[in-house]
Each structure stands twice: as C-alpha cells, then as structure tokens.
Amino acid sequence: MPTRPSTRNTPTPQSLRLDNQVCFALYSASLAMTKLYKPLLEAIELTYPQYLVMLVLWEQDGLTVSELGERLYLDSGTLTPLLKRLESGGNIRRLRDAEDERRVRISLTDQGLALRDKAEAIPPCVLESSQCTVPELMALTGELKQLRDRLGQR
C-alpha cells in the first residue's frame, strides 16, 4: 500500500487559510450583523427574515408571493411560513389575486404599515455600530450586490 506524504508539517497553502476566504468573511460578517439586528428587531417583534419581507412591502405594497420571492432570493417554500407568521401577527394580509386566482398578493395591514415608523430607528443604530460612513456602507453594499449578481450568473 503506497504511503501518502504527511501534511502535518507542511504549511497550509495561502489559498486554504481561513482568513483568506471570502466565504468566511461574508459568513462571519453576516453572523455579526444578525447579532446586531436581533435586539433591534425584538423591539418591534420581528425576526430578521420577517424584517426583510416588511422592507420590501414598505417599498412596494401588494406584491405577489413570487414577486416577493424574486426580490428576496427566496423560494415560496421558504417564504410561505414567513408570510403566515406575519399574517398571524397582524402585519400583512394574503389575498388571492382577482385577475388570476393562482397568484396570492401580499398587502400591508394598518398595523404593518405603522410598524415602518418604529423600524426607522434601526438603520441609524446599524450605521453607528458599523463605525462606517454612509458612503462607505453604500460602496460596500454595491460591491456585495455586484458579487451576488456575478455568482448568480453561474
């Protein structure tokens, strides 16, 4: 049986070092961001995924489930339980589309719309915690969107 050379004493290649991995930088930054958002969102009784749904609906109310899924990069199997919880919490309504009953439209309730006022306190907290300027965060957001779009092309 041939023996394999031992890697115990061989230095790890730079390409395999944890701190050189873009995936780990994104993952650990995402964990830190989620940790930051958790108490902010608990104050308005939303989870992070629910907050993302509400952000989209505050921008454009009355979207279909599939339109919402496209905006959030989520499939309907993931989105439906989120929507059910938001509906049971009184923040949204799910109604069959009058023109095509196969589609379900999502609309904000008065309570869901009022939640937007409370949510306005969140971005300044995130900005302060990031210790970045608005232009720095906007540039970073743009770079991340560009990376996401490039990775999505494959």
User: Where in the sequence is the domain holding 60, given as residue range(s)?
Assistant: 46-115
We report the CATH number of the domain holding residue 68 as: 1.10.10.10
Confidence class for position 5, pLDDT limits 50, 70, 90: low
Q: What angle do CA 58, 127, 82 make, to 5 degrees?
A: 35
**Residue 76 is assigned to a structural domain of this protein:** yes
**Residue 64 is assigned to a structural domain of this protein:** yes
Task: Give the pLDDT score at 71.
Answer: 96
C-alpha–C-alpha distance, residues 122 and 126, integer Å: 6
Task: Give the pLDDT score at 4.
Answer: 64
pTM > 0.85:
yes
User: How many domains would you assign to the chain?
Assistant: 1
Task: Give the pLDDT score at 78.
Answer: 93
Q: Tell me if 7 sits within 8 A of 92, measured CB to CB.
A: no
**Residue 106 is assigned to a structural domain of this protein:** yes
Joined together, the tokens standing for residue 7 give: 């890697």
Q: What is the pLDDT of residues 66-106, one digit of tens each?
A: 999 999 999 989 999 999 999 999 999 999 988 888 889 99
